[in-house]
Amino acid sequence: MSVSNLAFELADRRAEEERAEGIRRVQQALRVKRLTLSPFCDCGELIPDERRKAMPNCKRCIDCETFIERQSRRAS
């Protein structure tokens, strides 16, 4: 194998590794984003893990949820 071929081979392998690394990084970022999605309520209260596990998209703590539910019930 000539030197230029070897260099090409190495560059190719490196590009492939970088691609795989990029995919890993994106997947990691998505995982982190899911985990860090609104861990805190608007009021600053930490939403309990149990609640977030049960309702992955919940954005409010139990107190605020109850408060808003009560308000919307009163409004309707």
* Chain contacts with Zn ion (rule: CB under 5 A): 41, 43, 45, 61, 64
Distance in angstroms (rounded) separating the CA atoms of residues 55 and 59: 9
- Nearer Cβ to Zn ion (7/62): 62
SS3 assignment, position 38: coil
CB 48, min distance to Zn ion, A: 11
Stretch (H or E) spanning 9: helix 3-36
- Nearer Cβ to Zn ion (37/43): 43
CA 67 to chain centroid: 28
- Nearer Cβ to Zn ion (58/64): 64
CB 40, min distance to Zn ion, A: 8
